[in-house]
Amino acid sequence: MADLFSPEWMRAFGDRWNAEPDLAEALAKIHFNSVIGYGLENDPTPLGVLTVEAGRVISAGAYDGQKLNWDLRADRDHWQRWKTKGLNMMGLSMAYMSRKLQFRVGDYTAMIKDPRMAGPFIKSFSVMSRVGEG
């Protein structure tokens, strides 16, 4: 399987995202457009990026200086744990409060208060767990 947040992994994540109605279709209903970076907490820039228009990933790959709406960071162990086990609302709150999940760019508070965004955000972690499946 491709390394976490590698261009190949990001493209597979984007495909899985688009195939998940609770993610792509839910975000399409609120006309969600964003450039989302994913990376490790000690790196100066994210490793991978998704560009989302009307809820669907239109491009995925390596970060190449794009202006980000969201920049999510954690250490490799936490990303692997969340990728394997997913993340629920309580776990997300704990990860954010303890700074295990960092929002370098993006408004966590506004996102978490809007169930139309919070639900799909949580769902994105379970979608990560399906990257690499047949």
* Residue 17, domain member (yes or no): yes
Tell me: the pLDDT tens digits for 83-96?
A: 888 888 899 999 99
Identity of residue 104: R
Give the N- to C-terminal CA distance of the chain in Å, as an integer. 11
pLDDT at 98: 94
CATH of the domain at 97: 3.30.1050.10
pLDDT category, 2, cuts 50, 70, 90? low
* Residue 60, domain member (yes or no): yes
Domain hosting 112: range is 7-128
Tell me: the pLDDT tens digits for 57-82?
A: 999 999 999 999 999 999 999 999 99
- Whole-model pTM? 0.94
* Residue 134, domain member (yes or no): no
What is the strand order of the sheet 48-53 is part of? 56-62, 48-53, 34-40, 70-74, 102-105
* Residue 34, domain member (yes or no): yes
Check whether 132 has a pLDDT greater than 80: no
* Residue 2, domain member (yes or no): no
Check whether 48 has a pLDDT greater than 90: yes
CB distance 5 to 39 below 8 Å: yes
Length of the chain: 134
* Residue 1, domain member (yes or no): no
Cα separation, 25 vs 47, whole angstroms: 26
* Residue 45, domain member (yes or no): yes
* Residue 111, domain member (yes or no): yes
